[in-house]
A and B are shown apart, each in its own frame.
Chain A
């Protein structure tokens, strides 16, 4: 926690925490009115420390479920998931999950929402500054005392991001975090995500339904099949940031990814 605590501070460009994730033969099913609903089918996935991976797939195929398993909110029916070689059994503050809905606590101010993680672990008293810094990082300093219902959708999602980042996670799981925002706000926040990722050095796994978003942010795209989700194909590419959507290579990639998704035109 010692060095990691500095990662959010402007000066702390030194060592950043980033986790390696191993998903080994993970299958998962839910019990739905007695019947088994298979959701994940033999997922094998390795994510290197500091990597930015995007997951694409048809709606309802099991992407959110996979993120919940990696976060440790639920245990897989079979297979195992390792973070830095250790089996994931329960949620841990080093692995943060950001949902599509900001799910801020409506009864608490933005500041208190962002402080939740530190408070829950009894660290808040010594580290109040980190909350201010996290708010500054997502440009919400003036809204520290506002209540969530007073924020716009984009601001609420930035607050939700700050609430995750203040814990200086080694792994950031993003479940369609920009899915409900208007396109202009989405563009801004995409750039912001890249900036935060480059600066803090966490490992990022992003679920999105937007192929373009995946191409702009990730260095690897994993495409899933229909439910139960299997990995259909992976696309690796190196491109410096900031990227441009009309870059020839990305446009070509986009076409072949859409083809894999069965959406080629």
Chain B
């Protein structure tokens, strides 16, 4: 449509302004405003704190959504993203309002087992310092465990997939050890590692390394033989074939292993931190559960979920970059 056509449509069509309006945005603004009003307007059955702050945040979101509604289609890419998630914004606002009503306002889901959203917000306000330290400790443990596990698992996987001898001895062992949950090794781990921290790293490394080793081995083992023939014809030695044929050819498999290892590493992270660590999200959850600080537990769970989702997202980005050569790959 040409610009002239657009202009004439605006003039001749009195509903044009309404048509350009982002309907989901207005609905979302209403939902978020409702959450704000419910929070500030009705009293808590038992006080949770941070009522004003939560109402201000939700009210602010409502105001922004309302203000954006007429312009959102002119915001380019950011606008498209907003429009795409419009229904989600509506749902989340409604969910927050409902959540406020059932917990803090009517007390159907009572304290201390349930917490309203502003109760969780209150945890970040009052205990933010300690939570930040816990995030740091958890990330350190996770990174040390995951990366050492992946490095060792990958090297073992390549060796298993490449060398017949290595595979003869290694594959049966890996198949035996593989299905055992990493946490089952805790007793002997404690014997072998002088510190709890070392033991925790080992458990996380084991959980992430084993799927990487298995998938890498199967990936290297299933490389099309014709690629090796081509390599040998072209004068490649074994080292070149490993580096330039086996490794790139098996990368799609390796990423499946990396994603599995990532999920396992998150799962055992909490357990590993319960082994007598002094900080960390897992430790925080255990500690707060013992004192019935469930709002704190929820607050820590939210952080964990966001962290995990962020790391998964990051791995997807790395994969998309490295595997852009695959046929039919959308990037």
Contact = CB atoms under 8 A, between A and B. Distances in A.
Interface string A175-215: 00000000000000000000000000000000000000000
Interface stretch (B19-27, B157-165, B241-249, B256-264): B241-249
A93 interface: yes
Interface residues of B, number: 22
A103 interface: yes
A101 B226 contact: yes
Interface string A131-154: 000000000000000010100000
If over half of B's interface residues share one DSSP class (helix, strand or loop), that class is named, otherwise mixed; here it is: helix
B14 interface: no
Which of A91, A92, A93 has the most C-beta atoms of chain B within 10 angstroms of its own C-beta?
A: A91
Q: For chain A, which range describes its interface: under 10, 10 to 19, 20 to 34, or 35 or more residues?
A: 20 to 34
Interface in B211-257: 224, 226-227, 229-237, 240, 244-245, 248-249, 251
B232 A73 contact: yes
A162 interface: no
A105 B226 contact: no
B248 A116 contact: no
Interface in B251-299: 251
B235 A117 contact: yes
Contacts of A91: 232-233, 235
A73 B233 contact: yes
B191 to A, nearest CB: 44
B248 A93 contact: no
B226 A120 contact: no
B326 interface: yes
B3 interface: no
B192 interface: no
Contact of A163 (B232, B234, B248, B251): B234
B234 A106 contact: no
Contact of B235 (A73, A93, A97, A107): A93
Interface string A81-99: 0000000001111011101
Nearest to B252: A107
A121 interface: yes
B327 interface: yes
A51 B78 CA distance: 66
Given A73-B229, A120-B240, A108 B235 contact: no
Given A96-B234, A106-B325, A120-B236, 7 more contacts: A71-B233, A93-B234, A97-B229, A99-B229, A103-B227, A108-B248, A167-B235
Interface of A: 68, 71, 73, 90-93, 95-97, 99, 101, 103, 105-108, 116-117, 119-121, 147, 149, 163, 167
Interface of B: 224, 226-227, 229-237, 240, 244-245, 248-249, 251, 325-328
For the complex of A and B, list the 3 residue pairs with the smallest distance between their C-beta atoms, beginning with the closest. A117-B234, A149-B327, A120-B236
25 contacts: A71-B233, A73-B229, A92-B235, A93-B234, A93-B235, A95-B233, A96-B234, A97-B233, A99-B226, A99-B230, A103-B226, A103-B230, A105-B245, A107-B325, A108-B248, A108-B325, A116-B231, A117-B235, A119-B244, A120-B236, A120-B244, A121-B235, A149-B325, A149-B326, A149-B327
